Amino acid sequence: MYSLAEIQRRTRKPLDAWWTVLLVDPVAGRLVRFAARYRWITPNRLTALAAVVGLGAAACFAGQSRGWLVLGAVLFHLGFVADCVAGRIARLRGGGSLFGAWFDFMFDRVRAVLCALALMGGQYRRTGETVFVWLAALVIALDLLRYLNAGQMSRIRAVMRADPGYPTGERAGRDRVTAWLRRRRIRVHLVSGVEFEMFVFVVAPLTGWIAGVTLTAGALLAAFEVRLVVLLWQATRRHAAWTAARRPLVAR
């Protein structure tokens, strides 16, 4: 039997989205402790459960009415919790399957697309306002673009880190806010894909401010993604300067 402290130590990420740290981790750790007792509770089965719950959320969003929106928001968050528990169970047991990793990635993308179409499509049918058609396209585009951007940036950083002797320590500012966030395991990247989806598919349906919350979340996500691109550009310039400085030494 694992203790809660051991589960937290072995399965929590060093840094994570603030939504996950504050609203999911306190519950997920206890769920992992319970699920770890039963070998039949596997990461793949939990991911499949999250997929079913996510589809249920999309169906509720299509219902249009206030009650269906609230139920859809609750189901979406529960699906996210199940997905997080699946990842933590995999880390606790030494890693999940390759197929599970593929399924988890693909399900996340499909869930976001279906929920965006259901939520915004339902509001379009209810109001007849074409702004919801554009919002559906905006949510899908931003979600896909930030995943493409994250993957490409990870590859570029991996190339830079692969150079022998290249300093890999972070250059990010160590101000008080950054230090405060890191002590609490919260990423400085405050509006990531997690927060974006939670605001669009949880906060917006709960409050009823679909358009306003979605536009605000989209603008914040875009701003933080631009920040990441700027940081990457600065890192590539430092890498280029470091490479140029090494060439005379290598030539000797």
The neighbour count for residue 243, using CB atoms within 10 Å, is: 13
* CATH code: domain of residue 184: 1.20.120.1760
**Orientation angle between helical segments 98-127 and 66-92, nearest 10 degrees:** 170
Q: pLDDT tens digit string along 178-229?
A: 888 888 899 988 899 999 999 999 999 999 999 999 999 999 999 999 999 9
Euclidean distance between CA atoms 228 and 151, whole angstroms: 12
Q: How far is CA 2 from the centre of its chain?
A: 27
The confidence score (pLDDT) of residue 224 equals 92
How many domains does the chain divide into? 1
The confidence score (pLDDT) of residue 250 equals 52
Euclidean distance between CA atoms 132 and 166, whole angstroms: 48
Asked whether the beta carbons of 41 and 85 are under 8 A apart, the reply is no
Q: Which amino acid belongs to residue 102?
A: W
Q: pLDDT tens digit string along 133-154?
A: 999 999 999 999 988 888 888 8
**Domain limits for position 117:** 4-251
Does the pLDDT of residue 162 top 90, yes or no? no
The confidence score (pLDDT) of residue 174 equals 62
Please list, residue by residue across 191-228, b when 16 or more beta carbons sit within 10 angstroms of its beta carbon and e when fewer do: bbbbbbbbbbbbbbbbeeebbebbbbbbeebbebbeee
Q: pLDDT tens digit string along 14-71?
A: 889 999 999 999 899 899 989 888 888 888 899 999 999 999 999 999 998 899 999 9
